[in-house]
Structure 1
Amino acid sequence: MLNYYVRNLSPRRLPLLTTSHVRHCSTSSSQDLDQIRTLLKLCVDRYYVSPGEANVELFQRGMSCRYGPLGMELKKNLLEQWWHSVTGSLAQVFGINTLSSSSSMDTETDRSGQLKLVDSEHLRRILKKKHLSKELLIQEIQMVLQGSPSVRTNILQGALEQLVPSLELVNRKLPFGLAETGQCFQPSNGSGCPTEVTQTSLVWFCSARTSSQWLDHWTRQRLKWWRKFALSPSNFSSSDVPVEEMDEGMSRGVRIIYSFPWGQEPLETLWNRGDNELLQVHKGAKSKLQCRDGRKSIPHVVSVTANMDRGVMAFLSNSLQQLKKGDSKQKLQQRMVLKLHPGLAPIKVALDIGRGATVELRQICEKLLQEFMEAKISTWPGYLETLPTSVEQLNAKYDEMGVLFSVVVSENTLESGLLQVRSRDTTIKEIMHISEVKKFLSRYISAADNI
């Protein structure tokens, strides 16, 4: 049986969807449109996104889609970097995990306007009851919805609910934060059919008198983090949210924005939310919410929420370079390179075989592959490729995949232990001893990650 997501029939003010960041592809220059088409084709051809027009459209819109092996690895690396940056920046940030769906019994009140997970076969049987009046039909559907589990549209709620059990962990002392990553569902294009999004969330609990300073702190930290991995940092910027777009109780909001070829899109949003939502979640029970920050007070909430699917798209767009170079015959050739940051690049090194005894060289590659895997250096086993491919074609393929280095073992490796290492970013080919390669790669990745 199928499950459908439907919205509760009770009216409610929906979370504000910004209209200022819609795409303007129709008014983009032909150069921008070519860049978009090139990027999307590359993402499909080089295993970042699974093929299919609908799937690629989801990816471009910053929604969860069917990622290919490299796309999934890039997303995993991005989430790991986010987690490390948030939980490692201050001592009092703790990770939590909440469910993406919950039954009506899990909450004391059944909030209207939620997305509900409904058995479509059950709903179909109700709709087939021709003898029911319109009013009775609505009543039956309402009963089904009330008994159906809800799915979250953001991951803020879980942290607000987890505040009280977390207070004893910090001895009721402010400030501290709860971090989480997970899937949620958001309405799409006014169709009423929700789409899945991978969100990251930091909910920072602090005193009312320091909430504004903490919002500024996290804005600086988050913008710095996005720019750290960027080839063109200036494409990432921040701007205040207009007052008319704020919900009740919010005093200020900031968006971190990326400038795509089709226009600006928000990646991360920070809010100074006050204490209204917190009091609503806990039924106004101020006594159990009281904390210490020099004096007893109800915590104020600063939330930091990011769309990591759009983040993946932003870094792929930011890292794509189309370079022109001349060959030995003075012909201009275009070279496409995904210059992803070493900390994000899905594949760090590719292993290939040059001229020489194939069996022996493959054994060397197997040994290197094992060493790299033990050192947690992601490796592409190019030496397993059976189709004949020129060195130029291999280099072009690896550049488009974003592979940092390619290593070629040859008969020289058998004779002297020397092999060739080519850099994606400089295209320089160096001769290195086989015993030094793992150490070189580990140092390079570690140094780049610590910049």
Structure 2
Amino acid sequence: MSRLSRCFRSLESAGFFRVLDDSRVELLAHGHAYADLLKQQWLSLRPLAAYLGTSDSSEAVFSTPLQRFSFARTERFRSHFEQLVREHPRKAKCPTLLKHLCTSSSSSCQPEPFLGHKAPVTHLITDFLVEPYRALEHFYNMQRESKIWWMRYSSNPSRYRIVPHELPVEVDAKHCQAIDIVCRFGEEVGVAVEQLSMVMLQGDDFRLPDARTDQSLPPAVIRSVIELETATCALLLDGCDHGRETQSLLLNRVLAPYQCGIACLKGDPAQPGDLADLCLHIKDVLHRAGLRLCQGDGYALTKDASELREHMEKSDMLGVPYTLLVSEQTLQNGLLQLRSRDTRLAETIHISDVPDYLLNIFKH
């Protein structure tokens, strides 16, 4: 656990999250920026889904184990079903997808205290309404797709496992299934980053036409719930707990709050203004290209190699994937160094190639 304790301290000092006295965690400024990007990735996932907006709740989504399977009897689910039929009639058939966000003022629904987030918490909820006779097929496919999605953003994809969830005694195993996507930190510690539950609806309250046969039937519902803040903390801890000798935060380039930084080593005292103007120009070019720059001025002017090294260490702990190293040479011939956080190696590129070069990296 000492290894994880060091990671907790590093993430707190870098401004991502902190542990409170009750063992819950709280996101800090950089952590909120990361969470917003994770939410945007979720919104862009499965783009054909009907997005139903955001709702508020005074209770956690899964305040009891049974509630994980009784959501179909809630007024909110009925309201969303009616909204689907009313506002998205072309999507009101099996199979179809619904998405909504739920902000809860109650504490985290995570059963374990490790990485459970303090209130309020945000739940990213996807309901997959499918043909009942293909429910298990869809359920297994969604498990695989979800696991791959989490692995894609991890510095250590082997952490993620599909873990069967034990059903409460009140639940009929013929009509319900459940699994968790768990991020493991050793054999003793794990965090459920996504919860998948399948419920077979009964009766005539909810009916949709089958897209293949046009026959009206009660669908099965596969519900995915991601607790945004807890999942954010798990991914950040994953990026910090990489086992390398270097002290850095290996965040996925898509989710890194800051994609690029600019650092300048001042040389000739007669030219600091020229170097600062050049950094401002590069900052403006990158900003207009849509790249996310480090906070504050967006660049750092360092007086010597030691100060530059210290700045790079701070950038690495912020998870900044690339830093542009500007020098007097850049003023003379337009060449600068592009340093990688992961390899700590730098390559020489021309200033005119910077935006397209970086955009191509982040695109692929």
For the aligned pair, the TM-score class normalised by the smaller chain equals 0.7 to 0.9
Q: Does 1:207 align with 2:175?
A: no
Distance of aligned partners of 1:58 and 1:385 in 2 relative to their CA distance in 1, 3 Å threshold? farther
Instruction: Please list, as runs of the form range in 1=range in 2, the aligned pairs for 1:304-323 lying within 5 A after superposition.
Output: 304-320=224-240, 321-323=242-244
Q: Does 1:73 align with 2:33?
A: yes
> Whole-Å Cα distance in 1 between the matches of residues 112 and 145 of structure 2?
34
Measured after TM superposition, the shift of residue 417 of structure 1 is 0.8
Query: 2:330 maps to what in 1?
Result: 413
Q: Is the 8 A contact 2:127 2:224 kept in 1?
A: yes
Distance of aligned partners of 1:266 and 1:322 in 2 relative to their CA distance in 1, 3 Å threshold? closer
> Whole-Å Cα distance in 2 between the matches of residues 274 and 238 of structure 1?
21
Q: Is the 8 A contact 2:261 2:324 kept in 1?
A: yes
Query: 1:354 maps to what in 2?
Result: 265
Query: 1:292 maps to what in 2?
Result: 210
Q: Is the 8 A contact 1:246 1:252 kept in 2?
A: no
Q: Does 1:252 align with 2:163?
A: no
Measured after TM superposition, the shift of residue 248 of structure 1 is 5.2
Q: Is the 8 A contact 1:100 1:152 kept in 2?
A: no
Query: 1:94 maps to what in 2?
Result: 50
Q: Is the 8 A contact 2:55 2:103 kept in 1?
A: no
**Residue 154 of structure 1 is aligned with which of 61, 64, 76?**
61
Query: 2:3 maps to what in 1?
Result: 35
Matched AA of 1:71: G
**Residue 163 of structure 1 is aligned with which of 76, 81, 88?**
81
Instruction: Please list, as runs of the form range in 1=range in 2, the aligned pairs for 1:190-229 lying within 5 A after superposition.
Output: 195-229=119-153
Query: 1:273 maps to what in 2?
Result: 199
TM-score (norm 1): 0.68
Matched AA of 2:56: S
Measured after TM superposition, the shift of residue 387 of structure 1 is 8.3
Measured after TM superposition, the shift of residue 187 of structure 1 is 4.9
Q: Is the 8 A contact 1:182 1:198 kept in 2?
A: yes
> Whole-Å Cα distance in 2 between the matches of residues 391 and 312 of structure 1?
30
Tell me which structure has the larger Cα radius of gyration. Answer: 1
Aligned partner of residue 53 in structure 2, secondary structure: coil
Q: Is the 8 A contact 1:322 1:336 kept in 2?
A: no
Query: 2:66 maps to what in 1?
Result: none
Q: Is the 8 A contact 1:275 1:298 kept in 2?
A: yes
> Whole-Å Cα distance in 1 between the matches of residues 251 and 266 of structure 2?
30
Aligned partner of residue 86 in structure 1, secondary structure: coil
**Residue 243 of structure 1 is aligned with which of 167, 192, 197?**
167
Query: 1:339 maps to what in 2?
Result: 250
Q: Is the 8 A contact 1:153 1:184 kept in 2?
A: yes
Distance of aligned partners of 1:160 and 1:212 in 2 relative to their CA distance in 1, 3 Å threshold? farther
Q: Is the 8 A contact 2:16 2:27 kept in 1?
A: no
> Whole-Å Cα distance in 2 between the matches of residues 43 and 190 of structure 1?
21
> Whole-Å Cα distance in 1 between the matches of residues 314 and 346 of structure 2?
16
Matched AA of 1:364: L
Aligned-pair Cα RMSD in Å: 2.7
Instruction: Please list, as runs of the form range in 1=range in 2, the aligned pairs for 1:48-127 lying within 5 A after superposition.
Output: 48-49=16-17, 53-54=20-21, 57-59=23-25, 65-68=26-29, 70-87=30-47, 91=48, 93-101=49-57
Distance of aligned partners of 1:47 and 1:187 in 2 relative to their CA distance in 1, 3 Å threshold? closer
Aligned partner of residue 244 in structure 2, secondary structure: strand
Instruction: Give the length in aligned residue pairs.
Output: 334
Aligned partner of residue 258 in structure 2, secondary structure: coil
Q: Does 1:404 align with 2:321?
A: yes
Q: Is the 8 A contact 2:94 2:208 kept in 1?
A: no
Q: Is the 8 A contact 1:159 1:203 kept in 2?
A: no
Aligned partner of residue 330 in structure 2, secondary structure: helix
1:118-158 deviation digits (Å, cap 9, x = unpaired): xxxxxxxxxxxxxxxxxxxxxxxxxxxxxxxxx24229653
Query: 1:442 maps to what in 2?
Result: 359
Measured after TM superposition, the shift of residue 300 of structure 1 is 2.1
Distance of aligned partners of 1:182 and 1:359 in 2 relative to their CA distance in 1, 3 Å threshold? farther
Matched AA of 2:192: P
Distance of aligned partners of 1:425 and 1:221 in 2 relative to their CA distance in 1, 3 Å threshold? same
Identity %: 18
Matched AA of 1:316: L
Matched AA of 1:258: C
Deviates more, 1:377-386 or 1:176-185: 377-386
Query: 1:184 maps to what in 2?
Result: 104
Distance of aligned partners of 1:245 and 1:266 in 2 relative to their CA distance in 1, 3 Å threshold? farther
Measured after TM superposition, the shift of residue 322 of structure 1 is 4.6
**Residue 302 of structure 1 is aligned with which of 222, 245, 251?**
222
Distance of aligned partners of 1:248 and 1:187 in 2 relative to their CA distance in 1, 3 Å threshold? farther
> Whole-Å Cα distance in 2 between the matches of residues 430 and 38 of structure 1?
32
Unaligned runs of 5+ in 1: 1-32, 60-64, 102-150, 325-334
Unaligned runs of 5+ in 2: 63-70
Q: Is the 8 A contact 2:54 2:101 kept in 1?
A: no
Q: Is the 8 A contact 2:99 2:126 kept in 1?
A: yes
Distance of aligned partners of 1:400 and 1:285 in 2 relative to their CA distance in 1, 3 Å threshold? closer
Distance of aligned partners of 1:444 and 1:265 in 2 relative to their CA distance in 1, 3 Å threshold? same
